[in-house]
A and B are shown apart, each in its own frame.
Chain A
């Protein structure tokens, strides 16, 4: 089944404890992206990747890192999480930058 998977789906952590949210797609998509969704602010793009080893900042990249060493995986790294990074995170992928995006199920993160 073609899909985008994210892990974990739910995470509670403490300020400053490094964490990684994984994202994987099995559709051989080139374009991958991370978003956060916050009440009243909608979905905002954090980082995106046009292909392996090609990443760039979205609208809200501060406090996040990403890597794209393989085409199928695009992990989101929070090296020192803070409470303002409490949010619902979505990973998405598309065949290329102009095609339909498919979203993962989301990861709910709470930083205490």
Chain B
């Protein structure tokens, strides 16, 4: 099946700093989402971004489907950004396009 790797696995930032999180996938996809899991365990949608670039406030995301990666940018980080960030993909292949595979996650800690 498709492999999804995220980097870095852990990240500590000073409040106000910027960061880039990466999601690499091993096969072509037609669906990619970014999620934030807050310290209470809740999974929150950030972006649905199978291709192109989107922005929402201090967050933006870019997916280059032809090169099989996606980037999540966090600018002017705040302590409330702490948690784990996941990407999740659905492959384009006819045999498994209904399945969803999550990446390994990036654990972010923003310190005051």
A interface residues (Cβ-Cβ under 8 A, vs B): 31, 33, 35, 42-45, 48, 50, 56, 58-59, 88, 90, 97-103, 105-106
CA distance A90 to B43 in the complex (A): 9
Q: Does B7 contact A (CB under 8 A)?
A: no
How many B residues have CB within 8 A of the partner chain? Answer: 22
Interface of B is mostly: strand
Residues of A close to B112: CB separation below 8 A? none
Q: How many A-B residue pairs have CB under 8 A?
A: 53
Whether the Cβ atoms of B43 and A42 lie closer than 8 Å is no
Given contacts A45-B101, A100-B33, contact A59 B41 (CB under 8 A): no
Bound CA–CA A56/B96 (angstroms): 11
Query: Most chain-B CB neighbours within 10 Å: which of A42, A48, A100?
Result: A42
A58 CB contacts on chain B under 8 angstroms? 99-100
A106 in contact with B41 given A100-B33, A100-B48 (CB within 8 Å): yes
